Amino acid sequence: MTVSRILAVKGRAVITVQPEQTIQDVAHILSSKGIGAAVVSSGAGDVLGIISERDIVHAVAEKGSAALAETVQHHMTERVITAQEKTTLESLMQTMTSGRFRHVPVVEGGCLCGLVSIGDVVKLRLEEFEAEQRALKEYIATA
């Protein structure tokens, strides 16, 4: 099972923000879209960083409401770990676990083409597990 299977189901649209936008803007975007992270991009498909709800929590814990007026580039993570379409689910889970993050942008040929969250991975694993169980029950019933 690979990342391309997840993207085929959930789509390839990625919510991005620009480095000059404020933390308040990002909080509003994450809340209205019901997502946990946005990729920071100039808008040309490049990946300059990633900013997640956790970064916003850290910023507010450190600076209070003043953090909301600060820019994304000040609080984003610049060194982004990305995946490719051919990346396996196992490898993706390992990356998320060892890196302690829940979002991985998918980049092909230098261009952003999707984002996988831990929720997407859990959903697919659950479906796989249920399918395995069904197959096992059918096998037992007909054996």
Task: Answer yes or no whether residue 74 interacts with ligand AMP by CB under 6 A.
Answer: no
CB of 124 to ligand AMP, least distance (A): 18
Q: Which is nearer to ligand AMP, 56 or 137 (CB)?
A: 56
Task: Answer yes or no whether residue 123 interacts with ligand AMP by CB under 6 A.
Answer: no
Q: Are strands 37-40 and 16-17 parallel, antiparallel or unpaired?
A: parallel
Q: Which is nearer to ligand AMP, 90 or 130 (CB)?
A: 90
CB of 76 to ligand AMP, least distance (A): 6
Between 23-33 and 53-63, two packed helices, what is the crossing angle to 10 degrees? Answer: 140
Q: Which is nearer to ligand AMP, 27 or 81 (CB)?
A: 81
Site string for ligand AMP, 78-117 (x = CB under 6 A): --xx-------------------xxxx-------------
Rounded to 5°, the CA angle 97-10-87 comes to 45
**Which residues of this protein are in contact with ligand AMP, per CB under 6 A?**
36-37, 50-55, 77, 80-81, 101-104
